[in-house]
Chains A and B, each alone.
Chain A
Amino acid sequence: KAGVTQTPRYLIKTRGQQVTLSCSPISGHRSVSWYQQTPGQGLQFLFEYFSETQRNKGNFPGRFSGRQFSNSRSEMNVSTLELGDSALYLCASSPTGAGNQPQHFGDGTRLSIL
């Protein structure tokens, strides 16, 4: 069974640009969550999608948005990039997002802002 796939693995952008990251969950998983990992703040929850609906959202500005498609694939968009958005962005999937289901992570997209 293929794992969670995130593309691209690396991205370099400049301030003010926007970026879209993609995540393909494990086949059959309908819940997709996104996390931001930085040395200063650690791992922080961005949002979770289930059946194309955002079900849960972390404490990030509106520049961070996402969506989920009918095949459960998800995209995350960040607009008006800031230097502080440099981070590893991790996507995770689980069957239904229930708390007792472990989340399976992709290898992440490393975003660097110049």
Chain B
Amino acid sequence: AQSVTQLGSHVSVSEGALVLLRCNYSSSVPPYLFWYVQYPNQGLQLLLKYTTGATLVKGINGFEAEFKKSETSFHLTKPSAHMSDAAEYFCAVTVADRGSTLGRLYFGRGTQLTVWP
């Protein structure tokens, strides 16, 4: 079974500070990993994805994440926070094999990011 754990339901940073949002997953097969962002009263917007290849992936708005298989982690970072980054962030996983879980996203509980001026 697949599951995702996001450490810290709330993270606060000052504008210009490093953003680090943590995500750990469990999967019995190689995973595909995603980060989504949700702004108030909106749906989910894809930030970045890891499928295969380079383990450091870059996304939109200056975010990046590194897939670490040995640590089963996929933490999201941004060197310098901006006020517009305030939102809720979701880590999600699907699996690489065929079967009943094909196309199904398993989400973490989300991390609310607050950016202080």
**Interface size grouping (class) on chain B:** 20 to 34
B16 contacts chain A at the CB level, 8 A cutoff: no
**Interface size grouping (class) on chain A:** 20 to 34
Most chain A CB atoms below 10 A, which of B34, B49, B102: B102
Give Cα distance in the complex from A101 to B51, angstroms: 9
Q: Note all chain B residues with C-beta closer than 8 A to A92.
A: 44, 105
Known contacts being A90-B44, A102-B49, A106-B43, is A56 close to B102, with CB within 8 Å? yes
Q: Does the CB pair B32–A105 fall under 8 Å? A: no
Most chain A CB atoms below 10 A, which of B34, B100, B105, B110: B105
On A, residues with C-beta under 8 Å from B are 4, 6, 31, 33, 35, 42-43, 45, 48, 50, 55-56, 58, 90, 92, 94, 97-108
On B, residues with C-beta under 8 Å from A are 32, 34, 36, 41-46, 49, 51-52, 90, 94-96, 100-110
